Structure 1
Amino acid sequence: MASKNAGIDSANARLKLVANRCAKTVFILSGYSQGADVAGDIAAAIGNNRGVIPASRLLGVALVADPSQAPVGQPTIGLPKPGMGFAGVRSGGFGSLTQRNGILAICAPRDYYCNLPQGDVVMRFIGHLGSHLDASDPAGSAQKLATIFMAGLIAPATAAINQILALVNDPNLIPNLVSRGVAFAKALAQQLFWLAGPQVAGPATDLVNA
């Protein structure tokens, strides 16, 4: 969470600096994985008139493996229908950027980071924990997680409450979280092998073992 916020702050500072220096400059945002999460949040703020530059100066956004996907009302290349990322759907969508087709999203169907199985509540729970817990602000993190769950981003509100209650009351909660976490780590390691080849074999193996 801290690294994502640092990325947002850094990119916004750069956008503001260049925009002020060069009145006619327009921008394109792009990002991969956590970079897509950062770029997507910046774009969402701009598209909803809360950004450091007006939406008219943002030509478009390209997001690859966005964990906060999917763009509202817009298809994602690689998926037959909008998926849900590991961090949950980005609240509020992209505003005016969606209306003028300013968002390009790409996701591999078997990439859990941007296309988590819809029925797997445990994996979504792990994803929300990993994406929203901030060690420096545990109370704020808990409030944010509660808001996400109650907003129905996991399922319709009543079903979400029942699923989470069943999850936390399960005596096998910790072993279940661990086993699913290991499965996610293995899937991630396989993607690293595919993306980067043998040079990441050691770190990926360490990840699975850890």
Structure 2
Amino acid sequence: MRLEPSRAGALATVALHGVVLAALLSYAPARSAILSAAPIMVDWIVPATPTPKVEPRPEPPKPKPVKVVPKPVEAPPVAVLPAEAPSQMVVPEPPPPAPAEPVAAAPTLVAVTPPIFNADYLDNPSPVYPVLSRRMREQGRVVLRVLVNTRGAADEVQINNSSGHVRLDDSARETVKRWKFIPAKRGAEAVPAWVLVPVSFRLEG
């Protein structure tokens, strides 16, 4: 029996595909076995240590240029000569005389009468002669300076000249302090004034 050409080609194609498939099936396990037996190589990559970053050192500042100021040169002193005096001298005129001031009239001087202490009517007691001074034969003359006020009393009694004995001086001063005086007068007016009062101490026999 003869097949038609188209059917014969189809059968041939199917047969060819079957052969190829069988070959593939027989080859696949062998390749798989080979592939599974091959070792796997793994490379470990170690990260490199980072290099520390070195910062650049700052450059030192450049020195500033120093200005050299030249010292001032001292000029030699200049001698100053006095100018020649002019041949003609100018004499200033004298100032006009000042007007004469009127002379004040001199005040009329009124004499001052000193205080009086030895009038009989004043009845002033004599100083007491100290007993010890008499025993020791002490004698002398004391002069007292007395300030008499306008009422005729002694405001102050000072020793002007000492007798040389303290007991005699003290006795005279204490007595004269109680004396009464006629005050000094300028005209009819009583004024305070100083007067000297002498007191003598003498032993008889």
Question: TM bucket by the smaller chain?
Answer: under 0.3
Structure with more contact order per residue of length (Cα contacts < 8 Å, sep ≥ 6): 2
Q: TM-score, normalised by structure 2?
A: 0.18
More strand by share: 2
Q: TM-score, normalised by structure 1?
A: 0.18
Larger C-alpha radius of gyration, 1 or 2?
Answer: 2
More helix by share: 1
